[in-house]
Amino acid sequence: RSSVERCNSRLKKYLNLDNLRSKGIKKAKVHALLNCIALVAGTIALNIGVSASKAA
């Protein structure tokens, strides 16, 4: 449960999840899913950079 709360906190703080500018559940869901994708992509990019610097 704590990992989910950390993820929600990061989404709200860094990816502006708590500031929706469109109406409707579908649009809100798409906004949240795109933010989740961005969070995961950023984490992957960070981990690739760290593993590349360790290999060098």
Helix (H) or strand (E) holding 45: helix 25-55
pLDDT at 3: 86
Find how far residue 41's CA is from the centre of its chain.
8
pLDDT for the residue numbered 49: 75
In this prediction, residue 1 carries a pLDDT of 76
Report the chain (56 residues): mean pLDDT per 10 consecutive residues. 86 84 89 89 86 66
Instruction: Look at residue 55 in the predicted model and tell me its pLDDT.
Output: 61
What is the rounded distance in angstroms from the CA atom of residue 37 to the CA atom of residue 55?
A: 27
Calculate helix-pair angle for 2-14, 25-55, nearest 10 degrees: 100
pLDDT attached to residue 56: 55
Is the pTM here over 0.75, yes or no?
no
